[in-house]
Structure 1
Amino acid sequence: MSKSCLLFDNDGTLVDSEYLCNLGIAHAFLELDVTLDADDLVKHYRGMKLSEIMASISRQYSVELPDDFISSYRKRVASLFDKHLTPIEGVVYALDHLHHRKAVVSNGPRQKIEHALNVCQLRGYFNDNIFSAYDIGYYKPNPQIYLDVAAMMKVSPNQCVVIEDSKVGAEAGSRAGITTLFYNRYNETLSLPHVTSFNDMKQLPKMIANVS
């Protein structure tokens, strides 16, 4: 069956936000006298649910998070996005050459997704096909997030292609039985059914044509 619907992750796949998000975490924890390296945070936590990341770090360093910690962090990241966020290299070319229906499927909140897409001028490729795990109730690596989005897009899973940059996202696509293209910019080892790695977004149109 030909592929008619492309399901993109957001952070690290469409927008180059992973470092900025983790820089925001490092800045937030520095106020609690915890020194973290943003690059290390990207390697360890990329794609994970924010509350699980914060809980893991707070346990590791035995610090209690203030009630406004997450909301303060969100404001900090929004400011970093306004100043520094750019699209992933090659993704505009890829989107311009892909004429399929497209959706964004992210573990982040919808407001953050929309902000990032607007800053990078990518919103028009997706219109209102923006899906947040906070609204759906399932977070990657749970495959149900992709199965639910496919249903909401009124397509079967085998008509979809998932495009992800994190192991948890690729696992979600794989477990859903959906053809998954893993943007492997860190040359990670990943062996999962239905998953193919690539490292250049400009390759994406040709790769999707080959799986159609």
Structure 2
Amino acid sequence: MNGCLIFDLDGTLVDSEPLCSQAFLDLLPEIELPLDELMRRFRGRKLSGILSDIETIIGRPLPEDFERDYRARVEHLFDTELMVFPGVAEALSKISLPMCIASSGPRAKIESALEKTELKRFFGSRIFSSYDVGIWKPDPGLFLHAAREMQCAPARCTVIEDSEVGVRAAKSAGMHVLKFCPEVEPQTSFSSYNQLAERLESIFESA
């Protein structure tokens, strides 16, 4: 078995999506949508697009310093509540393939989340952010950049994602993709990390 694994972070390795959406509700109590709907609506999207969507929802412009306040609120929630999905560390410790992170979040946020959840040891400096390359999913450019940096042909890369925009980006990049969702939904490739090794084996056997 050879190739490379490219992991998204939020909602894939760490259970951060509820916290990111909760931060909006904490700062903007006039948002009347429930948490699960915000998660579905914003999952995997670029923050600037999310903020524009929120302005439509609340019917007014956001303050100029809202993004700063939002990121501070998310950081606080990460400090107190961020957790990895069950079985992640065990699954990663059994993988012999090269692995990296390719996330839409800022690099500092990615590294902070990895350190808080003790996952940094699996990825080291192999972290690629949309903010560093100026490309956001569903554009495949971030995944293609990661493949180049990992010196692995796209066809030999497998992306682990949780969002539809991420899945689209991986497919557009010509990569294999596994969609993670702890609640089994249509198009879900696996719902528990104890299934990951089996799913990866099936990909490489068919390649």
Q: TM-score range by the shorter chain?
A: over 0.9
- Could you report, residue by residue, the CA deviation over 1:98-117 in whole angstroms, capped at 9, with x for unpaired residues? 11111000011111111111
Looking at structure 1, the residues matched to 202 and 184 of structure 2 have their Cα atoms a distance apart, in angstroms, of: 22
SS of match in other structure, 1:163: strand
SS of match in other structure, 1:197: coil
Kept in 2, the 8 Å contact 1:163–1:181? The answer is: yes
Looking at structure 2, the residues matched to 188 and 208 of structure 1 have their Cα atoms a distance apart, in angstroms, of: 19
Task: Give the letter for the 1:67 counterpart.
Answer: E
Q: 1:71 aligns with which of 68, 71, 86?
A: 68
Map residues 143-162 of structure 1 onto 2, 5 A cutoff: 143-162=140-159
Looking at structure 1, the residues matched to 183 and 133 of structure 2 have their Cα atoms a distance apart, in angstroms, of: 29
Q: Determine the structure 1 residue equivalent to 2:22.
A: 23
Q: Determine the structure 1 residue equivalent to 2:194.
A: 202
Looking at structure 2, the residues matched to 104 and 167 of structure 1 have their Cα atoms a distance apart, in angstroms, of: 17
Q: Determine the structure 2 residue equivalent to 1:126.
A: 123
Farther-moved stretch of structure 1 (33-42 vs 65-74): 33-42
Deviation of 1:61 (Å)? 2.2
Looking at structure 2, the residues matched to 77 and 104 of structure 1 have their Cα atoms a distance apart, in angstroms, of: 20
Pairwise CA RMSD: 1.4
Q: Determine the structure 1 residue equivalent to 2:40.
A: 43
Structure 2: segments with no counterpart, 5+ residues: none
TM-score (norm. length: structure 2):
0.94
Kept in 2, the 8 Å contact 1:165–1:185? The answer is: no
Task: Give the letter for the 1:101 counterpart.
Answer: P
Q: Determine the structure 1 residue equivalent to 2:98.
A: 101
Looking at structure 2, the residues matched to 69 and 95 of structure 1 have their Cα atoms a distance apart, in angstroms, of: 36
Deviation of 1:41 (Å)? 0.5
Task: Give the letter for the 1:42 counterpart.
Answer: M
TM-score (norm. length: structure 1):
0.91
Task: Give the letter for the 2:7 counterpart.
Answer: F
Q: Determine the structure 2 residue equivalent to 1:211.
A: 203
Q: Determine the structure 2 residue equivalent to 1:62.
A: 59
Identity of aligned residues (%): 40
Structure 1: segments with no counterpart, 5+ residues: 191-195
User: What count of residue pairs does the alignment treat as equivalent?
Assistant: 204
- Could you report, residue by residue, the CA deviation over 1:48-81 in whole angstroms, capped at 9, with x for unpaired residues? 1111111011023211111110011101110101
Farther-moved stretch of structure 1 (66-75 vs 33-42): 33-42
- Could you report, residue by residue, the CA deviation over 1:128-162 in whole angstroms, capped at 9, with x for unpaired residues? 00011011111011111111110111111012110
